[in-house]
Amino acid sequence: MTQAAKNVFVASRLPKRAGVSGWVATLQPRTPRAALSEAISADVAIIGGGFAGLSAGRRISRLDPTVRVAILEAGIVGEGPAGANSGFIIDLPHEVSSDDFSGESESKFRDSVLLQRSAIALASELAAENGWSKDLFDPCGRYSVAMSAEGDKHLTAYSQQLAKMGEAHRLLGREEIEAVTGSKAFTSALFSPGTIIVQPAAYIRAVADCLREPVTLFEQTPALSFERSGDGWLVKTPTGTVRAGKIIMANNGHAESFGFFRGRLLHVFTYASLTEEFDPARLGGERKWAATPALPMGTTVRRINTGGGDRILVRSRYSYNPGIEISDAAIRSAGRLHDGKFAHRFPTLAGVGMQYRWGGAMALTRNHVPAFGEVERGVFAACGCNGLGASNSTAAGIAAAERVLAHRSELGRIYDKLAAPVLLPPQPLTTIGAKIHLAWREWSAGAE
């Protein structure tokens, strides 16, 4: 989706923090890499140091270790959405539909699996190279949990699809999932072994810290604008510039802040709360597990251990925020919802409070495709995470890096086939529609 040729692109807004994530708060403070403070040259400038940007940097260095890359991250690595999520790097699309599952949907499923597993391959390679511990990177799989007859039905249908696709998985009954989670609230579950579970802030910091010269990361360095300069581009930051042959925009919804994909990205936030530490004896089941909801609008729950005891993470609620920022009141409101979900699932933990609450931005598209491809000559987008950026944005970053270096791969062929994001209805219809849609889906997810 190339715009009319323009020479200057100026950021109309920069990312804002949406609370402090419990993932960051429970790690040692990071000493950020130095901000850019001079005029430099690079072959490729990458805007954004989340899953997409760091993975693009990594992929470029693997394909050609001589390519000079400058990654510009507006904030501190780990403090944006990539370090604030629930930490599921998911390998399988969740494509349950009551109608037939064959032909086109089968081939889309396979493409999705290849895409998501490309992300997992990059993460696994880094984990193996660097000997990451299971606190950071755990290939332990995930549970999809149901709390209602509708959720149970959904999991059974999903299991049939997975069986048809030859994907390993296991259905669990009420007692079996209680033995894992210590909660009597879940009515059934589906375990799929291929998901990687990470401490997201630790993971994204670790990916950043694996990058080596000539890939350089500059933190607290927002790209304020970029303009054509000779055959390439000049990126301006508050205290420096990067003259680069090519640019990868890996700033998700903020691609729109530079004028790209205008009217095609839905800026949706989701929210999480993390409890204080509790005595593990207060909750039966295993000490560590990770569960996503059977119904897409439901609640994600994880049990983790942080040294002094265990904690429960609750992620729920979606809100539409076209200005790509949220208020503290929105975090508090989501927090009240989390408290109810927590109390319902874990009555034995009555009195355990939430220590951290936060939110984070995602960019969705109406037709669920990424905002990907060459958007101006020499400017490539790896944006539009569609809510599953640990896999999708990592894959998009890899694919963008391959495009920039003209490297052909099976993954690239999948991106070649994807449609462009379609236009959203004009405002205020998008706002009204998105709010009604999210409220209705949250209501229909019920207890899930």
Ligand X SMILES: Cc1cc2nc3c(=O)[nH]c(=O)nc-3n(C[C@H](O)[C@H](O)[C@H](O)COP(=O)(O)OP(=O)(O)OC[C@H]3O[C@@H](n4cnc5c(N)ncnc54)[C@H](O)[C@@H]3O)c2cc1C
For residue 86, the minimal CB distance to ligand X (Å) is 3
Q: Is 91 in the site for ligand X (CB under 6 A)?
A: no
DSSP string for residues in 368-389: S--EEEEEETTEEEEE--TT-H
Size of the site for ligand X (CB under 6 A): 40
Work out whether 295 is an interface residue with ligand X (CB under 6 A).
no
Percent helix, strand and coil across the chain, each to the nearest 5 = 35, 25, 40
The rounded distance, in Å, linking the Cα atoms of 422 and 348 is 47
Q: Does 252 bind ligand X (CB under 6 A)?
A: yes
Q: 19, 75, 141, 421: which one contacts ligand X (CB under 6 A)?
A: 75
Is 52 near ligand X (CB under 6 A)? yes
Q: Cα separation of 59 and 52, whole Å?
A: 10
> To the nearest whole angstrom, how small is the minimum distance from the Cβ of residue 260 to ligand X?
12
By CB under 6 A, residue 334 contacts ligand X:
no
Q: Which is nearer to ligand X, 19 or 232 (CB)?
A: 19
**Other CB atoms within 10 A of residue 443 CB:** 9
Which residues 305-324 are close enough to bind ligand X by CB under 6 A?
A: 315
CB of 276 to ligand X, least distance (A): 18
Q: Would you count residue 391 as binding ligand X (CB under 6 A)?
A: yes
Closest CA to 289 of 152, 407, 222, 191: 191
Is 232 a residue that touches ligand X (CB under 6 A)?
no
Task: Write the burial class of residue 25 (CB in 10 Å: 0-12 exposed, 13-18 middle, 19+ buried).
Answer: middle
Nearer to ligand X, 178 or 339 (CB): 339
Q: What angle do CA 118, 124, 125 make, to 5 degrees?
A: 90
Residue labelled with tokens 């569960």: 291
User: Measured from the CB atom, is 48 or 232 closer to ligand X?
Assistant: 48
In whole angstroms, give the CA distance from residue 352 to residue 356: 12
Cα(290)–Cα(47) distance, integer angstroms: 31
* Residue 73 engages ligand X in binding (rule: CB under 6 A): yes
In the complex, what is the shortest distance from the CB of residue 343 to ligand X, in angstroms, rounded to a whole number?
A: 20
Distance CA 50, CA 217 (A): 11
Decide if 190 contacts 158 (C-beta within 8 A).
yes
Q: Which stretch binds ligand X (CB under 6 A): 34-42, 68-76, 330-338, 419-427?
A: 68-76
303 binds ligand X (CB under 6 A): no
Q: Which is nearer to ligand X, 254 or 345 (CB)?
A: 254
Q: Which stretch binds ligand X (CB under 6 A): 86-94, 144-152, 179-187, 349-357?
A: 86-94
C-alpha 111/C-alpha 117 separation (Å) is: 10
**Residue 48 within binding range of ligand X, rule CB under 6 A:** yes
With contacts defined by CB under 6 A, name the span among 160-168, 176-184, 248-256, 339-347 that binds ligand X: 248-256
Interface ranges with ligand X (CB under 6 A): 11, 14-15, 47-52, 72-75, 80-82, 84-88, 222-223, 250-252, 254, 270-272, 315, 360, 362, 385, 387-391, 393
